[in-house]
Amino acid sequence: MAFSDYYSGLQHVGIPSSSLENSEAFWTKLGFKKTGDFPAGNVIFLQRENLVIETWSGDEVVGKPGAINHLSMDTTDADAAFEAAKSEGFTLIDSEVQHLPFWDNGIKFFNVQGPDGVIVEFCEIVK
């Protein structure tokens, strides 16, 4: 399969924050609801319909215009997608699939470098 066959669309947008409380209040006022809270990573997820925002504190680009850290694409097989991206010559930021203890069974993900420094993450929420 081609790399582009391994994802279905946007999973979330990663936006760094100087204050998770202020970010949560702002996005909640816009109609978002908190769907995930991960104190160990200082990360929260907020959702409104099909748009999910991941926000966290402690990033150097906080407060700068356009401070979006990454776009995350939804995949059901991060390992296979990683191998396809590697074989198709994409510029991989990660040397292997990464893991974090988010959600019930964790996540698997890797990042690809796009033009102009854009980071595209491919993320699997493990079932």
pTM: 0.79
pLDDT tens for the 127 residues of the chain, in order? 999 999 999 999 998 888 899 999 989 998 899 999 998 889 999 999 999 999 998 777 777 777 888 999 999 999 999 999 999 999 999 999 999 999 999 999 999 988 667 889 999 999 9
Please indicate, yes or no, whether residues 119 and 83 belong to a single structural domain of this protein.
yes
Sheet holding 43-48, edge to edge: 33-38, 43-48, 51-57, 7-17, 70-75, 119-125, 107-113, 98-100
Domain boundaries, position 102 = 69-126
How long a stretch of residues is the chain?
A: 127
Whether residue 2 is contained in a domain is answered as no
Structure tokens given for 81: 């997608």
Whether residue 85 is contained in a domain is answered as yes
Whether residue 63 is contained in a domain is answered as no
Whether residue 103 is contained in a domain is answered as yes
- CATH number of the domain enclosing 82: 3.10.180.10
Q: To which H or E segment does residue 46 belong?
A: strand 43-48
- C-alpha angle 65/68/69, rounded to 5°? 130
Please indicate, yes or no, whether residues 20 and 41 belong to a single structural domain of this protein.
yes
Tokens 């979330």 locate to 12
